[in-house]
């Protein structure tokens, strides 16, 4: 199993450009999450999904949109990138088993907005 994969690994955008980050998991997990991590900080939740076709806002959702059209994929979109969105983006997934909810993280996408 590949676990959680993220595409791309690195990207540089100019202010105002748009892009989509792709997260894929092959563990048949119901829950998926997008976090961002700024230098020296912990991860902050952007959006999450508890199942195919459903999404919800996290702690810092402004400037981002998400879609979960297939159970294994969770897309994060930036419609008009801003320098404040320079960060490392992590995707994670977890089973819906109430005894654990252990999250599995991808390797991250490093985004720079100039």
Partner 1 sequence: DAKTTQPTSMDCAEGRAANLPCNHSTISGNEYVYWYRQIHSQGPQYIIHGLKNNETNEMASLIITEDRKSSTLILPHATLRDTAVYYCIVRVGPHSGYALNFGKGTSLLVTP
Q: CB of residue 16 vs partner 1: minimum separation in angstroms?
A: 27
Exactly one of 23, 33, 68, 113 binds partner 1 (CB under 8 A); which one? Answer: 33
Q: CB of residue 2 vs partner 1: minimum separation in angstroms?
A: 13
Residue 47: CB partners within 8 Å, gap ≥ 6? 33, 34, 55, 56, 57, 58, 61, 64, 66, 76
Nearest in space to 84 (alpha carbons), one of 39, 22, 21, 32:
39
- Reduced to 3 states (helix: H, G, I; strand: E, B; else coil), residue 42 is coil
- A 10 A CB-CB count for 93 gives 26
Q: CB of residue 80 vs partner 1: minimum separation in angstroms?
A: 26
Contact call for residue 64 and partner 1 (CB under 8 A): no
Contact call for residue 74 and partner 1 (CB under 8 A): no
Binding site for partner 1 (CB under 8 A): 4, 31, 33, 35, 40-45, 48-50, 56, 58, 88, 90, 92, 94, 100-108
């Amino acid at each position: 199993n590949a676990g959680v994969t993220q595409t791309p690994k690195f990207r540089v955008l100019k202010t105002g450009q748009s892009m989509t980050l792709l997260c894929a998991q092959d563990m048949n997990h119901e829950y998926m999450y997008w976090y961002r991590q700024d230098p020296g900080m912990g991860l902050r939740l952007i959006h999450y999904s508890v199942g195919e076709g459903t999404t919800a806002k996290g702690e810092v959702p402004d400037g981002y949109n998400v879609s979960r059209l297939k159970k294994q994929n969770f897309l994060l979109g930036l419609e008009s990138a801003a320098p404040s969105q320079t960060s490392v983006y992590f995707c994670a997934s977890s089973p819906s088993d109430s005894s654990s909810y252990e999250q599995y993280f991808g390797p991250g996408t490093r985004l720079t907005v100039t």
